[in-house]
């Protein structure tokens, strides 16, 4: 009777358990990787949003600075500074001019020295 007892026992084979364990392990690793990728994607989206806001602020600052540069370099502003004495003008000396002699045809050497004619 002992041999019948052994046949009636419910036993599970090692191979199906190993296959199911392998499948579950694969699905677990795939799930963790999926969550990691989703997290990185979310962080990248937040970083892009943050950088877009920073870019918009920089563009606003750039526009304000360009307007200020245009205002400060306008003729009226420069004339006012000249009248107040904040800006001084220096006359341009004759040696600082570049004279090109000739009819303009072809290339010719340029010189700052005056030729005696």
pLDDT in tens, the chain (117 residues): 455 555 556 677 899 999 999 999 999 999 999 999 999 999 999 999 999 999 999 999 999 999 999 988 888 888 888 888 887 778 778 777 777 666 656 666 666 666 555
Residue 19's domain comprises: 12-89
- Does the residue 111 lie in any domain? no
- Does the residue 26 lie in any domain? yes
**Which 8-state DSSP code applies to residue 93?**
P
- Does the residue 4 lie in any domain? no
- Does the residue 3 lie in any domain? no
d(CA 67, CA 61): 10
What pLDDT, on a 0 to 100 scale, did the predictor assign at position 5? Answer: 55
How many structural domains comprise the chain?
1
- Does the residue 72 lie in any domain? yes
| pTM, two decimal places | 0.50
- Does the residue 5 lie in any domain? no
- Does the residue 21 lie in any domain? yes
């Amino acid at each position: 009777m002992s041999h019948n007892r052994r046949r009636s026992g419910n036993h599970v084979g090692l191979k199906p358990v190993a296959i199911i364990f392998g499948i579950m392990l694969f699905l677990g690793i795939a799930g963790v990787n999926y969550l990691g990728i989703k997290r990185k994607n979310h962080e990248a989206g937040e970083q892009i949003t943050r950088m877009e806001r920073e870019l918009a602020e920089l563009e606003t600052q750039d526009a304000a600075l360009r307007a200020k540069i245009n205002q400060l370099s306008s003729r009226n502003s420069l004339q006012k500074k000249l009248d107040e004495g904040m800006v001084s003008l220096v006359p341009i000396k004759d040696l600082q001019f570049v004279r090109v002699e000739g009819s303009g045809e072809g290339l010719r050497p340029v010189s700052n020295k005056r030729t005696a004619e």
